[in-house]
């Protein structure tokens, strides 16, 4: 058997060399239908669409009724966005192969890509009466409804797909995504637990139960589900990766590190996994190892902005400010609308005394995400540190207009107003902060270590403490 496999492998290698030589020299070569179909499939599987398309075209010139070649060519035309041409080809295929279910299935998928969702659903639903394997059809109908924005209908079709085939991992994942979008994931947890009860040895069922728990931020339960998935399928790299993410959320960084390393052992180095492993080292305070894996991530994919950002964070932690700025700017170049990148750049610029550049970066971060109190608090702190209390107060006043329910803004405003000599306004802001979230008043100790000696402040805090008991 092994000899037969090696012989087929050698034959395919020789065939591909002949085919590519024919393309290069435009020489005439004979290939039978089976060979054209195998060559097209090979290039499709390897993502070489141009050669796959050429194999389909040349094959159809010699074998114009080949269903596989027509379907592959239609798929490639669809990939190019040439939907109308693809549909014309499929109509032609249907004339020659009127009873084949793959043709309307692909038509439905293409209409979905075109945004003609109703047509897509009509075609696909029309297949249900005659198709033997319905799970993929229900899944594709779900895709059309999901893209249409009809999530309830999408959910029902994904459920039908899963009930017919518990191993349909795409339907399991999209079901969780849709339920999360409409806020009904928790109410459907019973559906996921029933799947586990139906087949307790399905790694897909346990894995997707873990995803559901993760989306609900129930990380302890997610850990248990992912661990079962890895016990059933020991080489389940995605489960180890998600297990690592759950440990990170539970601040168990050493265990997270081990899971990410296992995922890399199983599926090789991927940019995302390397970044997550680097982040676990970063949280453990091992910045040199973190830098090593962030570098691995950007080496694998130079457009992976998380990797460049992680390098910047590590350099900042090591007080290598100039290097940090370079990495932050690289991350921003790749993802200009990420507010965290601008905020990190702002803080680092300020460390180097580049006040104007720091303000520009803070302003950009606040412009992108005005509803993030952290950027306003950090930006105003720079002004406060410079003794510019009035501008710091004005900045937080603008933030309060944006987020009137954010207690931290009022507490910080109280601090700045006291330093500006605006005691009455300070006490008013303090009272609003205490009303919104009494417990958050502890941050005042950062600015007034001996808060008890601030008698007016302390008296008001004590009054609210009594009310909150």
Q: Which residues contact 234 (CB under 8 A, 6 or more apart)?
A: none
Question: Phi and psi (nearest 5°) for 372?
Answer: -100, 105
pLDDT at 76: 93
pLDDT-derived band at 120 (thresholds 50, 70, 90) equals very high
Q: Which of 48-62, 235-249, 314-328 comes out lowest in average pLDDT?
A: 48-62
Return the closest-CA partner of residue 355 out of 329, 387, 331, 323.
387
Helix axes 237-249, 203-215, angle to 10 degrees: 30
313-362 pLDDT, tens digit per residue, is 999 999 999 999 999 999 999 999 999 999 999 999 999 999 999 999 99
128-149 pLDDT, tens digit per residue, is 988 888 999 999 999 999 999 9
pLDDT-derived band at 305 (thresholds 50, 70, 90) equals very high
Give pTM, 2 decimals.
Answer: 0.80
């Amino acid at each position: 058997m092994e000899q037969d496999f090696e012989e087929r492998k050698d034959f395919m290698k020789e065939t591909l060399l002949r085919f590519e030589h024919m393309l290069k020299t435009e020489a005439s070569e004979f290939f039978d239908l089976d060979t054209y179909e195998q060559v097209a499939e090979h290039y499709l599987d390897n993502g070489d669409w141009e050669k796959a398309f050429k194999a389909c075209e040349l094959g159809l010139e010699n074998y114009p009724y080949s269903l596989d070649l027509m379907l592959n060519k239609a798929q490639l035309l669809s990939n190019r966005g040439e939907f109308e041409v693809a549909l014309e080809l499929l109509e032609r295929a249907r004339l020659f192969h009127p009873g084949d279910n793959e043709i309307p299935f692909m038509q439905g998928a293409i209409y979905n890509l075109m945004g003609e969702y109703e047509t897509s659903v009509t075609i696909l639903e029309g297949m249900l009466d005659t198709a033997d394997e319905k799970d993929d059809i229900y899944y594709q109908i779900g895709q059309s409804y999901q893209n249409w924005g009809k999530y309830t209908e999408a959910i029902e079709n994904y459920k039908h797909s899963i009930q017919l085939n518990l191993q349909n991992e795409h339907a399991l994942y999209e079901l969780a995504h849709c339920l999360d979008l409409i806020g009904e994931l928790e109410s459907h947890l019973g559906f996921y637990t029933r799947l586990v009860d139906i087949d307790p040895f399905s790694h897909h069922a346990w894995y997707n139960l873990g995803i559901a728990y993760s989306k609900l931020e129930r990380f302890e339960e997610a850990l248990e589900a992912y661990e079962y998935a890895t016990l059933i399928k020991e080489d389940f790299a995605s489960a180890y990766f998600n297990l690592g993410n759950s440990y990170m959320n539970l601040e168990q960084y050493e265990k997270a590190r081990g899971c990410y390393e296992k995922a890399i052992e199983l599926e090789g180095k991927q940019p995302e996994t390397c970044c997550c492993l680097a982040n676990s080292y970063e949280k453990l305070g091992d910045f040199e190892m973190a830098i090593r894996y962030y570098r691995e991530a950007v080496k694998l994919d130079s457009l992976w902005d998380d990797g460049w950002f992680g390098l910047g964070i590590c350099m900042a932690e090591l007080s290598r400010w100039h290097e940090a700025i370079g990495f932050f700017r690289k991350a921003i170049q790749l993802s200009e609308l990420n507010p965290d990148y601008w905020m990190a750049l702002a803080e680092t610029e300020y460390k180097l005394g580049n006040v104007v550049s720091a303000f520009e970066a803070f302003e950009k971060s606040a412009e992108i995400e005005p509803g993030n109190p952290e950027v306003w608090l950090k930006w105003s702190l720079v002004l406060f540190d410079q003794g510019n209390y009035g501008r710091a107060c004005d900045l937080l006043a603008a933030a309060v207009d944006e987020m009137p329910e954010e207690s931290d803004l009022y507490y910080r405003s109280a601090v700045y107003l006291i330093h500006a000599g605006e005691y009455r306004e300070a006490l008013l802001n303090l009272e609003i902060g205490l009303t919104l979230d009494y417990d958050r008043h502890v941050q005042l100790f950062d600015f007034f270590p001996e808060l008890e000696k601030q008698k007016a402040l302390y008296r008001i805090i004590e009054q609210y403490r009594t009310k909150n008991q």
